[in-house]
């Protein structure tokens, strides 16, 4: 195997393993917020490396730093991006706990657009021959693929950062369980308790673990902590009931 190919596989495998380990450790075991934030920044790595490794007129590559080897490293980070975003999406679906998921759609799309723009600048801007060789169908395919991943990345990263960086004091709500339900989709199965009160006057759905879902009974009292969110997106979690609660 040639060295560029080896470097590509090594980098892609290392980043993929890190993403999977971070996702599992933060969802099943003790949360490691620092690793989750690193995972949220990793999709920018191929952009940074591609710009850093671009040859300059005054720079000559040595035998230890050949262009094809640098291209192998960049390609490895690019291949790992898709798995990183999937892991980030799963982690956000388990931990973000947003009161209203749709609040992050527009800001997430803006972050995704910036990431997509960074990809274009790093890989295609300044390479007229490469741009002209791409057909309209190829452009549209790339746009749909990277655009979809960009929106998923932006929303997931903002949702996680909103919770992990939050240092605000929560409001505590006493609510009664009126029902429960599950949903399936991105991130797998989710378990919800339907509550008569909470941050929404008409009632709230609180995401809980499978254990809490099975133990919950209609009519039981549940307390939820609603946090302001580091980025202004309210999020909530189930907590032990204190003596006092917010109205």
Q: Count of residues for the chain?
A: 247
Using the CB atoms, write b or e for 218-239: b if 16+ within 10 Å: eeeebbbbbbbbbbebbbbebe
Query: Domains in the chain, please, with CATH?
Result: 3-164 (no CATH), 171-239 (2.40.50)
Does residue 163 have a pLDDT over 80? Answer: yes
∠ CA(16), CA(19), CA(21), 5° rounding? 110
Q: Which 3 state secondary structure label does DSSP give 206?
A: strand
* pLDDT range class, residue 59, cuts 50, 70, 90: very low
- The predicted pLDDT at position 29 comes to 58
Please tell me what DSSP assigns to residue 202. T
In percent, the amount of the chain with pLDDT more than 90 equals 32
Mean pLDDT of 4-28: 86
Instruction: Give the model's pLDDT for residue 216.
Output: 84
Average pLDDT over residues 18-26: 85
Q: What are phi and psi of 219, to 5 degrees?
A: 100, -15
pLDDT in tens, 109-159: 999 999 999 998 888 776 677 677 778 888 888 899 999 999 999 999 999
Q: Which of 73, 135, 143, 75 is nearest to 112 (CA)?
A: 143
DSSP result, 49-86:
HHHHHS--TT----TTS-HHHHHHHHHHHHHHHHHHHH
The whole-number pLDDT of residue 57 equals: 42
Mean of the per-residue pLDDT values of the chain: 83
Phi, psi values for residue 236, rounded to 5°:
-140, 160
Lowest mean pLDDT across 52-56, 134-138, 144-148, 188-192: 52-56
Mean pLDDT of 157-165: 91
13-25 average pLDDT score:
89
Among the residue ranges 1-15, 55-69, 187-201, the one predicted with the least confidence is 55-69
Percent of the chain with pLDDT over 70: 85
pLDDT at 41 (0 to 100): 92
- Residue 164's pLDDT is 86
Work out the pLDDT band at 242, boundaries 50, 70, 90: low
57-61, 69-73, 205-209: the lowest-pLDDT one: 57-61
């Amino acid at each position: 195997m040639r060295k560029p190919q080896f470097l590509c596989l090594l980098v892609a495998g290392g980043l993929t393993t890190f993403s999977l380990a971070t996702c599992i450790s933060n969802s099943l075991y003790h949360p490691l917020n620092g690793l989750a934030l690193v995972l949220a920044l990793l999709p920018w790595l191929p952009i940074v490396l591609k710009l850093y490794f671009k040859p300059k007129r005054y720079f000559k590559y040595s035998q230890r730093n050949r262009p094809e080897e640098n291209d192998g490293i960049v390609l490895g980070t690019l291949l790992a991006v898709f798995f990183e975003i999937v892991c980030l999406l799963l982690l956000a679906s388990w931990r973000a706990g947003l009161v209203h998921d749709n609040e992050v759609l527009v800001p997430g799309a803006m972050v995704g657009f910036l990431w997509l723009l960074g990809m274009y600048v790093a890989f295609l801007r300044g390479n007229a021959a490469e741009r002209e060789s791409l057909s309209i169908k190829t452009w549209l395919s790339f746009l749909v693929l990277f655009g979809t991943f960009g929106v998923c990345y932006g929303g997931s990263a903002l949702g996680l950062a909103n919770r992990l960086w939050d240092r605000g004091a929560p409001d505590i709500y006493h609510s009664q369980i009126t029902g429960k339900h599950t949903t399936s989709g991105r991130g797998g199965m989710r378990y919800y308790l339907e509550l008569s009160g909470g941050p929404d006057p008409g009632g709230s759905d609180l995401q809980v673990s499978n254990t809490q879902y099975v133990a919950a009974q209609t009519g039981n009292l549940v307390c939820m902590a609603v946090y302001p969110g580091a980025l202004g997106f309210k999020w909530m979690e189930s907590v032990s009931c204190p003596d006092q609660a917010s109205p």
